[in-house]
Amino acid sequence: MMALKGTRRMTALFLSAIGFAAVAATAGAQPANIKFTLDFSLQGPQAAFFLAQDRGYYAQEGVNLTALDAGRGSSDTVNRVASGAYDMGFGDINALIEFNAKNPGKEVPAVLMVYDSAPFAIITLKSKNIGKPADLAGRTAAAPSFDTPFRLFSLFAKANNFDPTKVTWSNVAPPLREPMLARGETDAISGFSFTSVLALKGLGVPESNIQTLMYKDHGVDLYSNAVIASPALIQSNPRAVRGFVKATIRGWQDTIADPVAAIAALKKRDPLINDALELDRLKLAIQTSVMTEDVQRNGLGGVRAERLQRNIDLVTEGFNLERKLAPEQVFLDRFLPPRNERLPTR
C-alpha cells in the first residue's frame, strides 16, 4: 500500500512538471495536423501567430501547423475554411456573418475574437478639409469592392446623417488604394486604420497630414477579425480546436508584452519587411483593436452576446441579408480557456 501511495505521489509530481501535452505525447497521442490561413499578406498584426509557433505553443497543445499561409481578404478566408481547403483561419467576423446568413446549414463559427474593436475607418488627408463624416458628401473615395468598411459605408453615413450616394466611389485594387490618396487622385479611402495609416506613412505622407475617421467613434461599433474553425474539425477533433485557441491566446499575450519579439518572428518568414513600419502597425493594432476595455477586464478571445447581436443586426442591414442569425450561429465560446488564463499581460 505504501508503495502504491508513493507511486501516485510521484505520478502527480510528474504530471505537474511536464504538463498534459507532454503526457499525451508520451502516451502515444498523435498531433492534429491543421492548415491555417491568415486574412491578408504578412504584416505586423499577423505576427502573434508566428510567435506562438516559434515558441512551441501549438506543439505543446498537440497541434501540428502544416500551413500558416498569407490570405487574400477576409471573404476569401471564410471561403477557404468553408470549402475545407483550410481547417482554420483568421478573418473578419462581419464577412463570416454574411457567409453564414447566405449558407444555412453550412455555417462556419468563430471560436476566438482577436480584434475586439473593428479597425474600420475612412482615411483622408487633413489638407482635404474633411474633419467630420458629413464632410464626405460631394467628395470622391476609393476602395476595393470587397472591402468591409466600404460595404458598410451606408451604415456609417446613416449614423452620421448624410446621404451615402453623395460620395462617388472608385473600385480599386488594394495596392492602389493608399497611393491614390497620397497622390491626391481621391479625397478619401476606406480600410483598416492600421493598414492604411502605416501604408501612407510608408509612402512618405506625414502623419500630421493623415485624418482618420474611425467607424467605432462615429456610431458604428463592431467586432472584426476572429479565428474561425471548420465544422468538420470541430466535430472530429474539438480538442485540437481548443488547443489552437489556447496557444494563439498565449501568442497574443506574449505579443502584447513584447511586440519587438513578435516582429522578429514575422521577419523570419519575410526578410524584406520594414521592421520599424510593421512594429508601428502592430502597436497601433494592439492599441486600437485588441487591448480594449472589455479585453482588459474580461480577457482575450471572448464576446458579449448582446454586443454581438447588435453587430449582427447592423451587418444584416448593411449587407441587405434576408436571414438574421443568432449569436450562437456566429461565435462559439466553449473552446476558450478560463478568464484568468486569457487576461493580457504587459
Same domain, 169 and 72: no
Of the three residues 158, 184, 216, the one that is the final residue of a domain is 216
How many Å is the maximal CA-CA distance in the chain?
A: 86
Question: How many Cβ atoms sit within 10 Å of the Cβ of residue 294?
Answer: 16
Same domain, 228 and 145: no
How many CA within 13 A on the CB side of residue 120? 26
Whether residue 8 lies inside any domain: the answer is: no
User: Which grid coordinates belong to 116?
Assistant: 475586439
Same domain, 126 and 167: yes
Backbone region of residue 46 per phi and psi (left: phi > 0; alpha: psi in -120 to 50; beta: other values): alpha
Secondary structure E strands in the chain: 32-37, 63-69, 88-92, 110-113, 120-125, 140-143, 168-171, 188-192, 210-214, 225-229
CATH number of the domain enclosing 105: 3.40.190.10
pLDDT number for residue 338: 97
Whether residue 252 lies inside any domain: the answer is: yes
Whether residue 93 lies inside any domain: the answer is: yes
Give the integer Cα–Cα distance in Å for 106 and 101. Answer: 9
pLDDT number for residue 29: 67
- Residue in 196, 193, 201, 200 with CA at minimum distance from that of residue 217: 193
pLDDT number for residue 40: 86
Give the integer Cα–Cα distance in Å for 223 and 237. Answer: 27
pLDDT number for residue 341: 97
Residue 96 three-state SS: helix
Same domain, 91 and 229: yes
pLDDT number for residue 202: 92
Whether residue 27 lies inside any domain: the answer is: no
Whether residue 10 lies inside any domain: the answer is: no
Q: Give the burial class of 274: count Cβ atoms within 10 A of its Cβ; 0-12 exposed, 13-18 middle, 19 or more buried.
A: middle
Give the integer Cα–Cα distance in Å for 338 and 266. Answer: 28
Of the three residues 216, 234, 260, the one that is the final residue of a domain is 216
Q: Give the burial class of 264: count Cβ atoms within 10 A of its Cβ; 0-12 exposed, 13-18 middle, 19 or more buried.
A: middle
pLDDT number for residue 73: 84
Residue-number span of the structural domain to which 245 is assigned: 33-117+223-341
pLDDT digits (tens, 9 = 90+) for 164-180: 999 999 999 999 999 99
Whether residue 23 lies inside any domain: the answer is: no
Same domain, 64 and 192: no
Whether residue 18 lies inside any domain: the answer is: no
Same domain, 192 and 112: no
- What's the chain's length in residues? 346
Same domain, 191 and 268: no
pLDDT digits (tens, 9 = 90+) for 276-296: 999 999 999 999 999 999 999
With a cut of 50, which residues of the chain have pLDDT below it?
1-28
Number of folded domains that form the chain: 2
Nearest-Å Rg of the Cα atoms of the chain is 22
